[in-house]
Structure 1
Amino acid sequence: MFARIVVGYIPTAEGVAALDAAVELARQDGAHLTVVNTGRDGNYADPTFASAEDIDTIDLQLANADVAHDVRQPTSGRAAADEILAAATEVEADLVVIGVRRRSPVGKLVTGSTAQQILLDAPCAVLAVKARP
């Protein structure tokens, strides 16, 4: 049973899959859900930085699901993995939920892997969710 869940969200199929899984788990367990969304290096213009409308939709979705929650959009300039890990540590999360996608080994080497850093460094269990085809 989870009391505190952190989910990394970006407006992609993988991000939506992670959010949906986290919402379902939070709803089942009565857990508090912290949603973390940040653009690349805290950049508001990055496509991974959710719009105000996206955030409003998430807030409404969580309220309708009767899930206690907060939504964070840090702009400190830190990497997404660092922001998610910091939130997990701060709220003493029992679980971190992330979306994953298939990438080639060269792609991982060149750009790094947010998911890999979270899997290796999280202070709690991590659930990696793939988007449905």
Structure 2
Amino acid sequence: MSTVVLLTHPASAQAALAWAVQFATEHRHHLHVVVTGADTPGAPSYVSPRVLAELDQALVASGLAFTAHVESRDPAAKAVALTEEHQADVLVVGIRRRSVTAKFLLGSAAQRVSRDADCPVVLVKGEHLSGP
């Protein structure tokens, strides 16, 4: 059994990770964490070593079995593929507020995984919803 969480925008990543860690702990799941720098096509997708070290430290402290996957090309596709490969019970994604125009022109990882995943998808709002 496993849980997959997709961490994209910093404003929602912390809330999504907290929800996924709690769920995976309660259900004794292996946690697959997909990390990317951005969920907007054309945006920088660099993930700093500091961010990865902090993520690793937080996950080790949680006591969960986990695997981190850094994905810069297509994080939504990677998350969906992991749900299929590991027969995940749930896919967790952080969301943020965007204008209607930005949603139409750019789409989002959350939209893609909610459409493409075969398992239930949980959308978690971040504390500070902002952005284009």
TM-score, scaled relative to structure 1: 0.84
Q: How does 1:34-113 map to 2 (within 5 A)?
A: 34-39=32-37, 46=44, 48-75=45-72, 77=73, 79-113=74-108
Match of 2:13 in 1: 15
**SS at structure 1 position matched to 2:46:** coil
For residues 12-66 of structure 1, the C-alpha deviation after alignment (integer angstroms, 9 at most, x for no partner) is: 020111111101111122111000013459xxx92x4322221122122111111
**Residue matched to 1:127:** 122
Q: CA deviation at 1:74?
A: 3.0
Unaligned runs of 5+ residues in structure 2 are none
Matched to 2:114, the amino acid is L
In the TM superposition, residue 104 of structure 1 has moved relative to its aligned partner by 2.0
Distance 2:54 2:12 in 1: 17
CA contact (8 A) 1:10 1:16 kept: no
Determine helix, strand or coil for the equivalent of 1:85. helix
Is this contact kept in 2: 1:10–1:49, CA < 8 A? Answer: no
The RMSD of aligned alpha carbons is: 2.1
* Structure 2 residue aligned with 1:118: 113
Distance verdict in 2 for CA 1:50–1:10, change over 3 Å: farther
Provide the C-alpha distance between the structure 1 equivalents of 2:117 and 2:67, rounded to a whole number of angstroms.
Answer: 20
Q: How many residues are paired up? A: 126
User: 1:24 aligns to what?
Assistant: 22
Which runs of structure 1 show a deviation greater than 6 angstroms over 4 or more consecutive aligned residues?
Answer: none
Q: Residue 47 of structure 2 aligns to a residue in which SS?
A: coil
Taking structure 1 as reference, are residues 74 and 113 closer, same or farther at Cα in structure 2, changes over 3 Å only?
closer
The one-letter amino acid of 2:7's match is Y
Is the Cα contact below 8 Å between 1:10 and 1:50 reproduced in 2? Answer: no
TM-score normalized with structure 2 length? 0.84
